[in-house]
Structure 1
Amino acid sequence: MLKHIRTVAAVALLTVTTYAVGVELNGSHPDTYVVKKGDTLWDISARFLKKPWLWPEIWQANPQVKNPHLIYPGDVLSLAYLDRVTAQPGPRQEAPINAVPLADVEPFLKNLNVVDSFKELPYVVGLEDNRLRATTGQQAYVLGLQDAQSGQRYMVVRPTVQYGQPKPSSDLNLRGDTTAGMGNLWKEFIPTSDRDEFLGYELAKVNVGTLTQVGADATQASILRLEDSGREVRAGDRLVPVQANPYDLQFIPHAPATQPAPGHLRVLAVTDTFTSGGPRDVIAISGGARDGIDNGTVFSIWRSGSHVNDRVTGMPTSRKDDALKAGGNRVSLPDEYAAHAMVFRTFDKVSYALIMEGTKPAKVGYELKHPDAQ
């Protein structure tokens, strides 16, 4: 589930768009700032703005910079005017910076996908020498490729989790099924939701291989020679044709096009952890293109207010003091802000977002709201 893999990032040009709404300046901003390697435009904007996701609104063209759409390490930025950031160009010896650290998100752009179904895909039924796992240079035996041709290349993918509401995610076994009763794990800390819906299956890239022999019929396995040493293949892994999948490397942060309905969008999963994450961690959220979410959409993440006993004026009780539901003479506490996150990969019903900054961990089940929510 959302395995976090650190790789060297590819860097693309960043196109800056200007919006005509007001911004608030951060009173503690410096007069000048020298851009450093490893910076992001979000981090730099936090030095100038109270809302760093609004940096496109003041990042204006500067005639001193040959290409004002690119900011490089060594550039000197200054707040020259109320609605304009000016830049003195520095040496052009490093790659330009992006809105997000691409090294943190590139694996999720290239190696993960969310689909509605996968059980119809060809699958690995066995491995060379009856191995339990196989890697580069070894053979995987596959069913369901009798209509393919030798020489075709396939990506080996593994169904990892099923996303849904109200339970956010369930791990999948070798057969691609969920474990019965696994949803009970979430009942103690996931607030109730009016959504009861399947959202998709996550497929993670495992390996790549070339088809060297095609089975004569549906009962004979085809042979796939593995070429990638990244992860080991096992029985039950699925195959999809290798295709060029374009994805964005340019992200312009912006507020969601529509106000999320209360309780509609929640954190489904967090990179490398069971329940919580912080800045530079990737999360899966329960909304996508059908909800008007696109790449660059910024949300704030909130802990839903709990419901506690009033121990001063209420009756003595043994009820849980941090309940997920109202009622029972409990007092409802306000929601608590945790972090901001920006979407960088969008599917139909699920999206991946990067936590940009926050004041406390963002956890599975936390609600996503407009970035200006109070």
Structure 2
Amino acid sequence: MPAARPAHLCVLAACLSLASAATWAQTSPLTVTPEQRRVAEQVASAGVPLSELAPNAPEQHTVQPGDTLWDISKLFLKSPWRWPELWGMNRDQIRNPHLIYPGQVLMLVKVDGRARLQVAQGVGGASTGDTVKLRPQMRIAGLNANAITAIPLHLIQPFLTDAVVFDIDQLATAPRIVAAQEGHVILGKGDLAYARGDFGTASEFRVFRTTRPLVDPTTREVLGYEAPYVGTAEITRAAENRVTPDGKPEIVPATLRVTAVKQEVGIGDRLAPAPARNLERYVPHAPDAPLSGQIAAIYGEALNAGQNQIVALNRGKRDGVERGHVLALWRDGERVVDRTGGRPEAIKLPNERHGVLFVFEVYERVSYALIISVKEPVKAGDRFTQP
């Protein structure tokens, strides 16, 4: 496609690689909320104002392996979490905003001060520079890659087992490691451990150290109990209650094999069943209602946090926090003395927005967020709001 293309010819889009409506239904793992659908419907009728586009929004973009909805939204829109607008611009063609594939050509068109979306498919391949034909109808294309994700999942996956909060200190009564093979004090991957407790029907477990309370920076309320993750283990032999030949009861603990470690597993560590994780449900979106709170803690031992680190928030399900919420980080303005007038006078500088959080795990009274971008170190007590 020629580099200089009239702005009114094209819009952003991606065709669905689906053979039928039934196939689409089976491959759609995400739920579109009523608010997201409302925004999409509203935008679809007229497109978005040009003022909402990123300053350097390209006229076209070929989706590459490794692209995410966040990346693409950031190319075309000022606020990358506003994916319903990105989806809504081609509402008739993209029935599910999460089914966008590498190789699809995304085009941008500007008409009468508005931007809309249209599908374009490369002829003879999808590489940059190919001639592009606009396809106003849905096309069934043989795409060899999976649909792109909403955000870079590799930033979150390492923490899905690390960051765990219990509403009550339930680990106090959870199964516990009571001994190790050959008298070992610490265990590594592949070592055997022996544990007692109620294992239920689970066979795979996460191993945790003693919990620490998460406290609200303002109210001092205990929001939950954070459990430091140390590894995983699986049961290889169930516990037994035997009777010795002389008629005395004998307890034989369950045998577990350590399958992964973040740090050494030790006697006294507690076990909790490993939950199933659905990584596809992380869709960036702003809260539907005003939301504000504070950083309750920095995950781990650090006093401050930076980009790609995790923080605990003092808001959870009861406050309306959802997975995928994008939040703005604020730094309180300093209190200084104005000495430029006739007499010194105390003043407070304005609060400054300096980062973006992405919520990936939500509990009743607390949630975990990834710091996606930040200008200054983040510390407990820092504030956040809707973006």
Q: TM > 0.5 between the two? A: yes
Q: Secondary structure at the match of 1:283?
A: strand
Q: Cα deviations across residues 194-214 of structure 1 (Å, max 9, x unaligned)?
A: x21111122326121215252
1:290, 1:265 → 2: CA distance? 15
Q: Could you tell me which residue of structure 2 aligns to residue 238 of structure 1? A: 270
> Which entry has the higher C-alpha Rg, 1 or 2?
2
1:41, 1:267 → 2: CA distance? 29
Q: Could you tell me which residue of structure 1 aligns to residue 364 of structure 2? A: 348
Out of 261, 266, 275, the position equivalent to 2:295 is: 266
What is the total number of aligned residue pairs between the two structures?
315
Q: What percent of counterpart residues are identical? A: 32
**8 Å CA contact 1:58, 1:83 repeated in 2:** no
Which consecutive aligned stretches of 4+ in structure 1 deviate over 6 angstroms post-superposition?
62-68
Q: Secondary structure at the match of 1:300?
A: strand
What amino acid maps onto 2:207 in structure 1?
Answer: V
Q: Could you tell me which residue of structure 2 aligns to residue 26 of structure 1? A: 54
Unaligned 5+ segments in structure 1 are: 1-10, 167-192, 317-328
1:209, 1:58 → 2: CA distance? 44
- Counterpart mapping for 1:1-374 below 5 A: 17-18=36-37, 19=39, 20=42, 24-60=52-88, 61=90, 69-81=98-110, 82-89=114-121, 90=126, 92-115=143-166, 116-117=168-169, 118-145=171-198, 153-159=203-209, 161-166=212-217, 193=218, 195-203=219-227, 204=229, 206-210=231-235, 212=237, 214=239, 216=241, 220=251, 222-231=253-262, 232-242=264-274, 244-247=275-278, 249-261=280-292, 264-266=293-295, 268-270=297-299, 273-278=302-307, 280-312=308-340, 330-371=346-387
Distance 1:12 1:108, change over 3 A: farther
1:335, 1:219 → 2: CA distance? 65
1:333, 1:88 → 2: CA distance? 49
**Which of structures 1 and 2 has the larger relative contact order (alpha carbons within 8 angstroms, sep 6+)?**
1
**8 Å CA contact 2:98, 2:149 repeated in 1:** no
Q: Secondary structure at the match of 1:309?
A: strand
Q: Cα deviations across residues 299-332 of structure 1 (Å, max 9, x unaligned)?
A: 100111222233556989xxxxxxxxxxxx6421
1:28 CA displacement: 2.0
Unaligned 5+ segments in structure 2 are: 1-26, 127-141, 243-248
Distance 1:93 1:283, change over 3 A: farther
C-alpha RMSD of matched pairs (Å):
3.4
The TM-score with structure 2 as length reference comes to 0.70
Q: Secondary structure at the match of 2:327?
A: strand
What amino acid maps onto 1:334 in structure 2?
Answer: P
Q: In proportion to residue count, which structure has more helix? A: 2
The TM-score with structure 1 as length reference comes to 0.72
Q: Could you tell me which residue of structure 2 aligns to residue 186 of structure 1? A: none
1:136 CA displacement: 4.0
What amino acid maps onto 1:336 in structure 2?
Answer: E
Q: In proportion to residue count, which structure has more strand? A: 2
**8 Å CA contact 2:151, 2:283 repeated in 1:** no
